Amino acid sequence: MKPITINPGLCIGCGKCVEDCVSEKLGIVNGKAQFMYERCIQCGHCFAICPMGAVSMTAYENVEDIKPLNMSEFDSDKLLLAMKSRRSVRQFRNKEVSDEMIEKIIEAGRYCPTGTNAQDFSFTVVRDTLPELEKEAVKFFRLGQKAATPFSGYIKNMTIDEHFFFKGAPVVIVVSGKGDTSACLASSYMELMAESMGLGVLYSGFFVAAAKLNRKISAMLELEKGHSPVTTLVIGWPDVEYKRIPPRNKAKVNYK
C-alpha cells in the first residue's frame, strides 16, 4: 500500500500539499492531488497542511487529527529564561518518577526533527536494573582510573563513589541511535519536558563512555541492533535549588 493516500472525494486540488512536499512526490492530476511515487520520507507535511483532511498516512496506526499549537503564543522571554534556568541536577530526592511522566518525556523526544524523518533513535528506560548497572559502571571506572583510558586524565582525582553515575536518581533513560544527531536532539527535547514537570535532569556522559567501552554494560542495556548509546538522562526530583543563573561565554558569532 502507498504510504500516502489522498481521498479524491475530499481533495479540492488546491495544491498546498504539492507545494510543501520536500520530496516532490505529489502532483495534481485532473484537478486532484495524487501521490506519484512509491517512496517518500513520510514527514506528514501533506497530512498537516491539507485544509480538507483528505490525506491519510497509511503506515501509521491511530492517526489523530490534533490541532497544532501556534508556537508564537509562547512568551519568548519566558521561554528563554526557562532555558537559561535549566541546570544539571546532581542531587535528587528519594521519590519515584511516575510512568506517566516517563511516557511524556519520551513523547517529547520522539517528536524532535530528524534528518529524512528517520526517527532513528530508541529509548531504554532503566529503573529495576539501575543499581546493578551503576555497580558495573563504577567497577569499570575505578579500574579505568588507574589505567590509561580515554577518560582517565579527566577522572584522575575524582571520587568514584557508588552513585557516581546516577546520583541516587530513580530513573535513567539511555537514548541510543545509529548516529548521534537525532538522539541528541531528542534528548534535548526530553530534558526540557522533564524540567517543565518540575523534574531535574543530568546528562551522564560518563555512563555513555562506560556503556560504549564496556561490553558487559552495553549487553545489560540490550539496545536495538545497530544502535549505540548517545546520551544518558538521569532523571529525578531535585533536592537542590539555584538562586541565580551562572554566566556563560559570549556567543561566537560570525556575520558574513
The residues binding ligand FMN (CB under 6 A) are 87-88, 90, 202-206
C-alpha cell at position 153: 586524565
Helix ranges restricted to H, 21-129 = 45-49, 76-85, 99-110
Nearer to ligand FMN, 54 or 202 (CB): 202
Strands 4-6 and 55-57: antiparallel
C-alpha cell at position 189: 527535547
Nearer to ligand FMN, 2 or 87 (CB): 87
Nearer to ligand FMN, 32 or 90 (CB): 90
Cβ-in-10-Å burial (0-12, 13-18, 19+) of 147 comes to exposed
Angle between helix axes 205-213 and 130-146 (nearest 10 degrees) is 80
φ, ψ of residue 46 in degrees (nearest 5): -65, -40
Which residue's entry shows cell 524540567? 195
Q: What share of the chain is helix, strand, coil (3-state, %, to 5)?
A: 35, 15, 50
Residue 87: CB minimum distance to ligand FMN, A: 4
Residue 29: CB minimum distance to ligand FMN, A: 49
Residue 186: CB minimum distance to ligand FMN, A: 13
Nearer to ligand FMN, 150 or 205 (CB): 205
Nearer to ligand FMN, 42 or 204 (CB): 204
Residue 169: CB minimum distance to ligand FMN, A: 12
Residue 202: CB minimum distance to ligand FMN, A: 6
